[in-house]
Amino acid sequence: AQSVTQLDSHVSVSEGTPVLLRCNYSSSYSPSLFWYVQHPNKGLQLLLKYTSAATLVKGINGFEAEFKKSETSFHLTKPSAHMSDAAEYFCVVSDRGSGGYNKLIFGAGTRLAVHP
């Protein structure tokens, strides 16, 4: 079965500094991986997804993630944090069900705080 581990429950950065949110996955086959963002009292928004094409994936709002099979990692980065980036971020792996459909398996989440 697939699983996801987000290595930090909270990350705090200053505005204008880089962001790194770490994620490791476990998968028995080549996975599809995603990052979702959730702003306070809001639903979930897809940031980016990896589906076995380019290993460096660019998403919305300047975020990107690199798939590293040898390290089973899919860390999320952004060169310069903005106040509006403060939110909770979820790393997600797609698990293939017996009927051929996909179920999303979520990590526990990383709460990003951005300070002036």
User: Which residues lie closer than 8 Å to 67 by C-beta, 6 or more apart?
Assistant: 33, 50, 55, 56, 57, 73, 74
Smallest separation, CB 60 to other proteins (Å): 12
Complex with other proteins: residue 41 or 70, whichever CB lies closer: 41
Using the rule CB under 8 A, is 31 a contact of other proteins? no
Q: Taken in order 75, 77, 81, 84, is the CA torsion positive or negative? A: negative
CB 52 within 8 A of CB 27: no
- Decide: is 29 part of the binding site for other proteins (CB under 8 A): no
**Contacting residue, 25, 34, 63, 67, with other proteins by CB under 8 A:** 34
- Binding stretches for other proteins (CB under 8 A): 9, 34, 42-46, 49, 90, 97, 99, 101-109
